[in-house]
Amino acid sequence: MKAVRAAVMAVALGAIAGLAPGAEPVAATVEQPRSFGHVLGDVLTQRVLLEHAGRPLEPAALPAAARVDLWLERRTARIEADAQGRRWLAIDYQLVNAPRALRAIALPALSLATASDGPTLALPAWPVSIAPLTPPDVFGQGDLQPLRSDRPVAALPTDAIERQLRLSLAALLGVLLAWFGWWAWRNAREARRLPFAQAWRELRRIDDPASAQAWRIVHRALNTSAGHVVHGAGLPRLLAEAPYLRPLQARLEDFYRESTRRFFASNTDPAETDPPYTLKPLCRALRDAEKRHRH
């Protein structure tokens, strides 16, 4: 509803605060807010025309923002201009409390002093009605009941999500299969190409791991890894060229010492005088060191 413009002349000087002795206020031209239908949180705006007898006025001070009473709080005032260029003082009041039943209150009366010896503008109190947010008692008719039943929640469409999930799982499975295939191919290639890995595979196929054939397999792997024939006296050179084998130095020294006794000692059968030297632990350790070095 369009705000009602009202003009009221205050004739009792004692009813208006802040007036100088002997000064009589003049009625302000005010656009008042709607008088009814207000509830908690609503903002009611008074607009005061800053003009008198065709002469523009300038407020000496704007009304301060403050709590007015139990029901209203005044906000910071502001000056606006309309389409005709006239200046208005806008004063907002917010309803900050809710009554238990419909009741009437009033926007407070104000006197607005102006600068440059202008007249004091008088704003009368403006009655409005405020209503509670809810009635104290429910009606108990139709759907107007104290409690309403829970509203069932509609199921969200999940077809697109499920389709995306299936595609993601299929892509993940493809990546895992590709990685597993690459890993198996790499291990198989290294088992064929790397000297100690190949020696370990051959050694596992021999029935007697202490046989001369088993010793030749390990010797061949050491020679292939070094790129030349390795003897016990040349072990330091091998360890310098392949530093990843240095942790196995003591075991390699034992290997070459035992190999010398086995193949070059005269009139000695190591199989009868000493317990058999086991090659598999050494070969497995050489393979593991080689694998760590390659990775």
Give the dihedral sign, CA 173/175/181/183: negative
Is the same domain home to 208 and 109? no
Query: Is residue 102 domain-resident?
Result: yes
pLDDT digits (tens, 9 = 90+) for 51-98: 998 899 999 999 999 999 999 999 999 999 999 999 999 999 999 999
Is the same domain home to 105 and 201? no
What DSSP letter does each residue of 3-29 carry, written as one string? PEEE------GGGSTTPPTT---EEPP
Helix (H) or strand (E) holding 37: none
What mean pLDDT is predicted for residues 252-274?
Answer: 72
Q: How confident is the model at residue 274 (pLDDT cuts 50, 70, 90)?
A: low
| Helix (H/G/I), strand (E/B), else coil: 127 | strand
What mean pLDDT is predicted for residues 259-276?
Answer: 65
Query: CA-to-CA distance for 7 and 23, rounded, in angstroms?
Result: 19
Query: Is residue 145 domain-resident?
Result: no
**Residue 250, pLDDT above cutoff 70:** yes
More confidently predicted of 24 and 19: 24
What mean pLDDT is predicted for residues 112-132?
Answer: 93
Query: Is residue 272 domain-resident?
Result: yes
Query: What pLDDT shows up at residue 266?
Result: 60
| Amino acid sitting at position 155 | A
Query: Is residue 178 domain-resident?
Result: no
Query: Is residue 244 domain-resident?
Result: yes
pTM for the model stands at 0.44
Query: What pLDDT shows up at residue 99?
Result: 94
Query: Is residue 200 domain-resident?
Result: yes
DSSP-derived pairing of the beta strands 66-67 and 78-81? unpaired
| Contact (CB, 8 A) for 239 and 249 | yes
Strand positions, DSSP E, 11-115: 26-27, 30-32, 43-49, 51-52, 55-56, 66-67, 72-74, 78-81, 87-95, 103-107, 110-112
Q: Percentage of the chain surpassing pLDDT 90?
A: 45
Distances (CA, A) of 138 to 93, 97, 103, 143: 30, 21, 19, 10
In angstroms, the first-to-last Cα distance of the chain is 83
Residue 49 main-chain phi, psi, to 5 deg: -75, 125
Average pLDDT of the chain, as a whole number: 84
Query: CA-to-CA distance for 8 and 33, rounded, in angstroms?
Result: 15
Last residue of a domain, one of 105, 130, 155: 130
Domain count, the chain: 2
Last residue of a domain, one of 130, 146, 174: 130
Query: Is residue 88 domain-resident?
Result: yes
**Residue 269, pLDDT above cutoff 60:** no
**Residue 103, pLDDT above cutoff 70:** yes
pLDDT digits (tens, 9 = 90+) for 173-206: 999 999 999 988 877 776 667 888 888 888 888 8
Query: Is residue 181 domain-resident?
Result: no
Residue 25 domain boundaries: 4-130
- SS3 for 270-295 is HHHHCCCCCCHHHHHHHHHHHHHHHC
Last residue of a domain, one of 130, 148, 172: 130
